[in-house]
């Protein structure tokens, strides 16, 4: 009786290990594809010839109020001089959950461009936050915390200054609000964004309950 039980247990263990290995490989492949997609979009926001440093190593994590933490901030430099900040940010305010964006900022906080990386918004409606679906996302280029004033960083259907995607007010508001939060954070950190060396330097202190 013992031998069949042991054999069955070994087969079960081998099957579990195989499933775990497949799951790990699948997750790694998905993560790699997501990273490649993010890098492609980074280059849509800021072309490679605009900087000469290694973005992958010149970065830090930011804890921005209202965004899913942490927000990854890449720093672009040319000949050692600041060129842009590229924020890989996520908002949980989408109609169907998280929306991931790449937003490029000039050192003074003016938006260079914004692109959508991932989302689950409604096809034919909210998915028009993608550049491939419409030009809606282009309207943020050139805007900043003071242009328009931060209080007006809302879709026009909610009293703001930005166009609202038809039948996709929540998606429009999620993207616009996320960018407003990014700009508000940038105003507080300003030039220090190019000198922070620790990935946790600007992380809020944890307090015991």
Residue-wise pLDDT for 139-184, tens only, equals 999 999 999 999 999 999 999 999 999 999 999 999 999 999 999 9
pLDDT of residue 6: 66
pLDDT of residue 190: 76
Rounded average pLDDT over 45-52: 93
DSSP codes of every residue in the chain: -HHHHHHHHHHHHHHHHHHHHHHHHHHHHHHHHHHHHHHHHHHHHS-GGG--S-TTTSEEEE--TTSPSPEEEEEEEETTEEEEEEEEEEEEEETTEEEEEEEEE-TTS-EEEEEEEE--PPTTTGGGGSTTT-SGGGGGTT-BTBBTBGGG-SBGGGTSSBPPPTT-HHHHHHHHHHHHHHHHHHHHHGGGGGT--STTTTSPPP---
Residue-wise pLDDT for 111-148, tens only, equals 999 999 999 999 999 999 999 999 999 999 999 999 99
Entry pTM: 0.80
Residue-wise pLDDT for 68-84, tens only, equals 999 999 999 999 999 99
Among 7-11, 29-33, 194-198, which is the least confidently predicted range? 29-33
């Amino acid at each position: 009786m013992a031998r069949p039980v042991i054999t069955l247990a070994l087969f079960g263990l081998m099957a579990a290990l195989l499933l775990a290995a497949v799951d790990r490989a699948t997750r790694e492949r998905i993560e790699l594809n997501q990273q490649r997609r993010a890098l492609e979009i980074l280059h849509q926001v800021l072309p490679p010839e605009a900087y000469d440093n290694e973005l992958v190593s010149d970065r830090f994590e930011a804890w921005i109020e209202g965004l899913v933490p942490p927000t990854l901030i890449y720093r672009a430099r040319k000949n050692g001089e600041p060129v842009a900040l590229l924020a890989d940010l996520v908002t949980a305010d989408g109609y169907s959950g998280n929306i991931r964006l790449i937003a490029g900022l000039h050192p003074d906080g003016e938006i260079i461009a914004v692109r959508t990386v991932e989302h689950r918004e409604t096809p034919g409606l909210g998915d028009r936050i993608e550049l491939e679906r419409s030009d809606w996302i282009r309207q943020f280029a050139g805007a900043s915390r003071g242009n328009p004033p931060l209080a007006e960083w809302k879709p026009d259907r909610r009293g703001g200054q930005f166009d609202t995607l038809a039948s996709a007010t929540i998606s429009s508001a999620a993207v616009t609000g996320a960018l407003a939060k990014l700009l508000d954070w940038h105003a507080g950190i300003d030039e220090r964004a190019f000198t922070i060396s620790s990935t946790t330097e600007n992380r809020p202190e944890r307090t015991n309950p």
